[in-house]
Structure 1
Amino acid sequence: MFKKLLVLSLLVGSLAVSPGISHGARIVYSWPSNAGPINPHGYNPNQMYAQSMVYDPLVSYGEDSGIHPALAKSWEISEDGKTYTFHLREDVKFSDGTPLDAKAVEMNFEAVMRNAERHNWMDIVNQLDSWKAVDDHTFVLTLKNPYYPTLAELSLIRPFRIMAPSGFPDDLDTAKGIKAPIGTGPWMLVESKKGEYDLFKANPHWWGGTSEVQEVLVKVISDPTARAMAFDTGEIDLIYGANNGQIDMDTFKRYQSNRKVTSTVSGPMAGRSVALNSGKAPTDDLAVRKAILHGVNKKAIVDHVFLGLEHPADTLFSPESPYCDLGLEPYGFDPKVSGELLDQAGWTLKPGSPFRERDGKTLLVEFCFVGTDALQKAAAEAIQGDLRKIGMDVRLVAEEADSYYKRQKSGEFGMIFSSTWGAPYDPQSYCSSMRVPSHADYQAQIGLPMKEELDRQITEVMVTVGEERIQDLYRSILTTIHDQAVYLPLSYPTNITVHGDKIEEIPFMPMDYVIPFERIKLGR
């Protein structure tokens, strides 16, 4: 019965709001691909911006870096830090009109935990012991250990967001797919055409209030140049997202000088760095890693490659991230220091040779990047040029994206680009992932003599109660990583917006991939 009503509802909605007819204010945006099935518990091809539009979490992460009520209006944490009791709002409905209750929340947690291995990059999955609807509006989580990032990880875009029971498949295993994306969020998907567009309509039941925007048409535009042309011709109204993701930096600089459009840049969103492989020669040598950090002119890269649109970075995480403002001494650009470090380590220059040698071997490092990523290519070439000046031969290896990510996991790299995930993942979720070979971090750190102790401290900090002890542990973890020169921090990326007079204002959100269409103020 649910399925029949759902199909009818979507069909009526589709006929009522086809892309050629406007019912209320419409904003046209673009994305490189379709939104996907918008499974709240799934990953690719489910697009995160769409998951955040359709589904709500129990708690949300705010601009003040704090945790705020969402579907849960309040909560209590037991003295031992193991039990979280959430009190749900009583006036919330899913977009199909059915009421939210604790049983629906329990169904979603059960679906996630049924496939826990898919989600164990976040440690809360390993810490959950039980999840239970106590009554209609009370939901209780019990943990195996106190786990301080619990609320932060529940606020993430996926996988712990809440879908209506009517959206579940008959066997309740959402890993196999869903019937339809039905959430409590501000938007609902009403029409989709593969390779062309996705149409969202304001959810009339949304508990968060009303929006000036009633429809969001997301056109599929994969190429940044084509996206800029679509904006220039009025085909789309808004460009919003990661710089050099939605459009290239040169194009954004052009918009900055155009008085007819509004263009803005956010504060730091995450950390962009180069991971150095401590388990593979020659970057298994601490002196070589430190020489690299002192030998790269990061300011020049930020100014000329990133065009001043990103913030220079001296540490892996932005000091604005919780527990990360530690005052660690930066590795300043000083090729002379690089040369001294390499000399002391036995890497010497022979007359007539541009590159240093030791024991008959050239100081050679392979630097891997995504070949189709123009920004990575330009940054890699700049780094190659800087390191050549200190006698290091850097071989650039341009890869297809799939091969590049395989190298991150396998450790087949000397240097490779890496990025942290921004708020609210940093630092806890990102540090947690350092313990498993899911990204470049594990492989970059695997050669460290204190790797086992580093992982032990990361495990401990996740289950520690008490701000002072948590701060002490992060100080030790992040100082070790910094002192061991495992990363060459480059910049803290930003988000950008570009729009015309149709939009008066759209705020930046603290989380990547959250686009607040419901908070747009339209031009008068």
Structure 2
Amino acid sequence: MAGLLTLFFTLNAAAAPLTLTFAWPQNVGPLNPHLYTPNQMFAQSMVYEPLVKYDAKGGVTPWLAQRWTISADGKTYLFTLRHNVRFSNNEPFTAQAVVANFQAILANRSRHAWLELANRIDSVEAVDEDHVKLHLKSAYYPTLQELALPRPFRFIAPSQFVAGGTRNGIKQPIGTGPWILKESQLGESDLFVRNPHYWGTEPTYQQIRVKVIPDPVSRAMALESGDVDLLYGIDGVVLPDTFERLKQQGQYHIRLSSPMQTEMIAINSQHPPLNDLAVRQAINRAVDKQTLVATLLHHTEQPAATLFARNVPYANFPLSPYHYDPSAAAQQLEQAGWHLEKGQQWRTRQGQPLTLSLAYIGTDAVSKSLAEVIQGNLRHLGINLQLIAEEESSIYARQRNGQFDLIFNQSWGPPYDPHAFLSSMRAPSHADYQAQKGLPDKKIIDQEISQVLSSQNDSERQTLYKDILTRLHQDAIYLPLTYVPIMLIANRSLADFEFPPLSSDIPFEQMKPRSDVSP
């Protein structure tokens, strides 16, 4: 009997699929590769693949395209596709499928206008089964980097189009990637299984279960109880104090990546008194980032000195930071006519108090804490900072219409930084445009952004990026707070793996149990 029971449990263990359970705040969505929210980027990247992949050095490597050539004028790209790639329903991946997907994307071009490549594409043609030619209206140096993005330039089987395209939805999320979305339970979980037709290396795990756990405290509890194996992401994975507690326990595999994005405050130069450079510079000198990072964030992020960290392409040059110096900030305000009269709490100029507002998402506990620390720092300087906590949709509306003094903002990370993030500064619907609109050199900044995006000369691009970033820094239009890494917290049973170069990607196909790793 004992032998039969042992055999029974052994057979059942062998039959059970090797599953990794991961926690995420919401369901992955319908996974239309060419649309945005509620589709989750990490899941889109599990199912759909690009022609080229972004690498850690800021360049690209072959993927669905084995190689490519670029015309001398930078306007034509000829891609040679990888042979014998099939979609997960066994449909062939061909040049015609690539063209159909590009046409579906361009049929909804206005939705993708934030991405400059979508505006630059003139046409796409299938030369033959294995070759695709991409024609641009004008040269655009980040073309390959934007083709590597998680969306929209990825490929779904054309048989899954609705009414000949994807703008109105898809039938099923059928891609060429290593994973297939097998089932979704709204508010509960999503299940991915291996793609049996995948052209690349087969993942070790047979299934990835994504449990929907909106609250960061509950996600940590699920890890500790063993309900999930992995917590991973760029923003709000767990609260900073929870991260520190789990780290001190020593029971989990915990890592932070190099800086991926910049958390910052955008300062609206259109609104008095923020149209005064002295006020913007004083704010930059008034916030104690070192203490903020140590006490509030528990060193899960790094203090930021500039708009981009030095590991961002074209940002590796020195800029003199605005060091924390309340005395210098106070002196600067005094010289600008903002006096703190004896017995008064707030500075005034010509009878007007120095009163500002900072808007943030009210349900974001970390943003609330950051806002309160900044409020306290500015109070010591005699600046009355009023906090406005609103719903996420209201904050995004303020970013679009410029109805803010100060507002939380974040760079986009690789491969968007610096080119795509700077490109968006020319779009009125972005907080960056609204914040910069009152700058005397806004026109020059926008002209140089347009120029750098079309430049075919790397030395010229370096010069232009340096001038753009120097102007923004000297204009003190941003208060850089922290450089944000990817956070990883996992069971000890999960083997180590490399962080991907895109913060939105989660490399499930590289993950394996620790027992599978040679000692």
CA distance in 2, matches of 1:52, 1:458: 29
Q: Deviations over 1:147-197 (max 9, x none)?
A: 00100001000000011112211x222110001000001101111111111
* 1:332-347 equivalences in 2 (<5 Å): 332-347=323-338
CA distance in 2, matches of 1:492, 1:267: 9
The alpha carbon displacement at 1:359 in A equals 1.2
Q: 2:197 matched to 1:205? A: yes
CA distance in 2, matches of 1:281, 1:351: 24
The alpha carbon displacement at 1:206 in A equals 1.4
- Out of 413, 417, 425, which is 2:404 matched to? 413
Verify the 8 A CA contact 1:506 1:517 in the aligned structure 2: no
CA distance in 1, matches of 2:136, 2:403: 37
Q: Secondary structure at the match of 1:341?
A: helix
Verify the 8 A CA contact 1:239 1:499 in the aligned structure 2: yes
- Out of 143, 148, 155, which is 1:150 matched to? 143
Structure 2 match to 1:497: 488
CA distance in 2, matches of 1:347, 1:489: 24
Q: Secondary structure at the match of 2:471?
A: helix
Structure 1 match to 2:500: 509
Verify the 8 A CA contact 2:138 2:454 in the aligned structure 1: yes
Q: 2:170 matched to 1:174? A: no
> Any gaps of 5 or more consecutive residues in structure 2?
1-12
Verify the 8 A CA contact 1:166 1:182 in the aligned structure 2: no
Verify the 8 A CA contact 1:23 1:215 in the aligned structure 2: no
Letter in 2 for 1:228: A
- Out of 275, 278, 285, which is 1:287 matched to? 278
Verify the 8 A CA contact 2:265 2:408 in the aligned structure 1: yes
**Which range moves more in the overlay, 447-456 or 419-428?**
447-456
CA distance in 2, matches of 1:337, 1:22: 68
CA distance in 1, matches of 2:318, 2:110: 37
Identity %: 47
The alpha carbon displacement at 1:506 in A equals 3.2
Verify the 8 A CA contact 1:40 1:161 in the aligned structure 2: yes
The alpha carbon displacement at 1:209 in A equals 0.9
Q: 2:243 matched to 1:255? A: no
Structure 1 match to 2:82: 89
Q: Secondary structure at the match of 2:172?
A: coil
Structure 1 match to 2:305: 314
Verify the 8 A CA contact 1:52 1:185 in the aligned structure 2: yes
Structure 1 match to 2:233: 241
Letter in 1 for 2:69: E
The alpha carbon displacement at 1:437 in A equals 2.1
Q: Secondary structure at the match of 2:495?
A: strand
Verify the 8 A CA contact 2:241 2:297 in the aligned structure 1: no
- Out of 256, 269, 281, which is 2:260 matched to? 269
Letter in 2 for 1:196: E
Verify the 8 A CA contact 1:263 1:498 in the aligned structure 2: yes
Structure 2 match to 1:361: 352
- Out of 205, 222, 231, which is 2:214 matched to? 222
The alpha carbon displacement at 1:207 in A equals 1.7
Q: 2:416 matched to 1:430? A: no
Verify the 8 A CA contact 2:359 2:389 in the aligned structure 1: yes
CA distance in 1, matches of 2:312, 2:57: 11
Q: Deviations over 1:42-94 (max 9, x none)?
A: 10111111101000000001233320111001011111111111100002111
Q: 2:190 matched to 1:190? A: no
- Out of 106, 131, 143, which is 1:138 matched to? 131
CA distance in 2, matches of 1:291, 1:95: 57
The alpha carbon displacement at 1:337 in A equals 1.1
* 1:25-104 equivalences in 2 (<5 Å): 25-104=18-97
The alpha carbon displacement at 1:454 in A equals 1.1
Verify the 8 A CA contact 2:302 2:482 in the aligned structure 1: yes
Letter in 1 for 2:23: S
- Out of 418, 439, 463, which is 1:472 matched to? 463
* 1:369-408 equivalences in 2 (<5 Å): 369-408=360-399
Structure 1 match to 2:101: 108
CA distance in 2, matches of 1:345, 1:88: 61
The alpha carbon displacement at 1:22 in A equals 6.6
Verify the 8 A CA contact 1:162 1:184 in the aligned structure 2: yes
> Any gaps of 5 or more consecutive residues in structure 1?
1-19
Verify the 8 A CA contact 1:507 1:520 in the aligned structure 2: no
Equivalenced residues, count? 503
CA distance in 2, matches of 1:500, 1:64: 30
CA distance in 1, matches of 2:117, 2:203: 34
Verify the 8 A CA contact 2:448 2:464 in the aligned structure 1: yes
Query: Which stretches of structure 1, 4 residues or more, deviate above 6 A after TM superposition?
Result: none
The alpha carbon displacement at 1:495 in A equals 1.2
Letter in 2 for 1:44: T
Q: Secondary structure at the match of 1:219?
A: strand
The alpha carbon displacement at 1:23 in A equals 4.5
Q: 1:381 to 1:397 in 2, by over 3 A?
A: same
The alpha carbon displacement at 1:446 in A equals 0.4
Structure 2 match to 1:4: none
The alpha carbon displacement at 1:21 in A equals 11
The alpha carbon displacement at 1:242 in A equals 2.1
The alpha carbon displacement at 1:34 in A equals 1.0
Letter in 1 for 2:73: D
Q: Secondary structure at the match of 1:376?
A: helix
Q: Secondary structure at the match of 1:28?
A: strand
Letter in 2 for 1:473: L
Letter in 1 for 2:284: L
Structure 2 match to 1:452: 443
Normalising by structure 1, report the TM-score: 0.94
The alpha carbon displacement at 1:228 in A equals 1.1
CA distance in 2, matches of 1:162, 1:312: 39
Verify the 8 A CA contact 1:272 1:420 in the aligned structure 2: yes
Q: Secondary structure at the match of 1:351?
A: coil
Letter in 1 for 2:381: I
- Out of 436, 441, 454, which is 2:432 matched to? 441
CA distance in 1, matches of 2:273, 2:86: 59
